[in-house]
Amino acid sequence: MATLCRPAIAVPDHVITREETLDLARQLHAGHPQLGLALRLIGNTGVQTRRLVRPIEETLEHPGFTARNAVYEEEAKARVPEVVRRALDHAQLAPPDIDMIVYVSCTGFMMPSMTAWIINNLGFRPETRQLPIAQLGCAAGGAAINRAHDFCTAYPGANVLIVACEFCSLCYQPTDLAVGNLLSNGLFGDALAAAVVRGEGGTGVQLERNGSHLVPGTEDWISYAVRDTGFHFLLDKRVPKTMAMLAPAMRDMAAPHDWDVSGLDFYVVHAGGPRILDDLSHYLGLPAEMFRYSRATLTERGNIASAVIFDALERLFAEGGAHHGARGVIAGFGPGITAEITLGTWSDAGRDTPGAAGAPEARAPGAELAAQTPALQGGVRG
């Protein structure tokens, strides 16, 4: 049975705090008629710090969509190799062991996809299958896990590498003054993540069942307007109330599996904002503590789009993981309004294997990747 192994997370060095964000909003939008509302909304996000791929002075400039997308490609190629190496190390695999790469991102565009660059430059086999996902936004992390699960079910013993690369700051639009856009300027952050789904063995979340749910009639609640200046994020004021519709979908998906979604051992969910987590606690009848990993990601990183659930899952691993056989759910939420939901049990099957999470490492399989890729020698740039 396929197992989602420990993720690798990377964030840029440039930090912006909530106080700095609020000060910038006051300076840049002093005459905005709804500035007070925007400041309150930003203050209520719970986000304390965010990371930016470029310094704030450069982020606030807008050289045009062409230049912005060039930055996306440059930074992705510089930063992806390191998280890939660490994710492979966590899973005790090397590039030739991977049968498919799922790459998710909604903050830049490349064709051929980044998957082709990864295969060509990081030692993967030419036969490695590619699945780039670009238009599911924050739900894409969950979709990546689910498609990896499907692939490993169809091809038992196969291994899948997932990469999430989100540079949300490159979508900053200085002339877009809608309150929802001002809020997004204080909510989203930049991060990368990678994780391996092993078809056999491994320590982590053994994937049992997955499903999707789209809330009818909500296509325009979260969207991008694609304009000459790039992607303009559009956010409807009804979005924070979506858990009233998605929590029942989570319950319905678990029921045929004879699981009570309100009685699981761990929860890894997308943290789009504090209201999402508060409402999930309410509708599922759970204490707020059950969503501590997601809330910590929101507080320390902001909303990092498709990378959120991997960052939250890494926090579960860092805490020591769950007990063998513990049941849990992983859920990503995004435009559509869409939920990508995974049910799984914690497996310690690989813990006694040398190099597994929590066990002494006898070797580092990702060393082959580092040797093959000069870009890895310097690690992640700040």
pLDDT in tens, 135-165: 999 999 999 999 999 999 999 999 999 999 9
Residues of the chain with pLDDT > 90: what percent?
A: 75
pLDDT in tens, 9-30: 999 999 999 999 999 999 999 9
In angstroms, the Cα distances linking 144 to 102, 147, 325, 334, 351 are 6, 5, 23, 13, 24
Average pLDDT over residues 266-274: 93
CA triple 243-152-195, angle to 5 deg: 65
Q: Are 16 and 60 in contact (CB under 8 A)?
A: no
Residue identified by tokens 């492979």 is: 88
pLDDT in tens, 166-197: 999 999 988 888 888 888 889 999 999 999 99
pLDDT of residue 200: 95
Q: CB under 8 Å to 359, separation ≥6 — which residues?
A: 351, 352, 353
- Can you give the pTM of this predicted structure? 0.89
pLDDT in tens, 61-110: 989 999 999 999 999 999 999 999 999 999 999 999 999 999 999 999 99
How far apart are the C-alpha atoms of 239 and 337, rounded to whole Å? 9
Q: At residue 175, what is the residue type?
A: T
Average pLDDT over residues 204-223: 93
Strand 159-167, strand 266-269: pairing: unpaired
Q: Among the residues of the chain, which ranges form H helices?
A: 18-28, 35-43, 56-59, 65-91, 114-121, 140-154, 179-185, 243-254, 274-284, 292-301, 308-318, 367-372
pLDDT greater than 90 at residue 233: no
CB-based burial label for 196 (10 Å; 0-12, 13-18, 19+): buried
- In the chain the domains, ranked by start, together with CATH numbers, are 3-202 (3.40.47.10), 204-347 (3.40.47.10)
How far apart are the C-alpha atoms of 246 and 64, rounded to whole Å? 37
- What does the DSSP 8-state code read for residue 188? B
Q: At residue 144, what is the residue type?
A: A
Q: Are 100 and 158 in contact (CB under 8 A)?
A: yes
Q: Which active-site residues does the annotation give? A: 138
Residues of the chain with pLDDT > 70: what percent?
A: 91
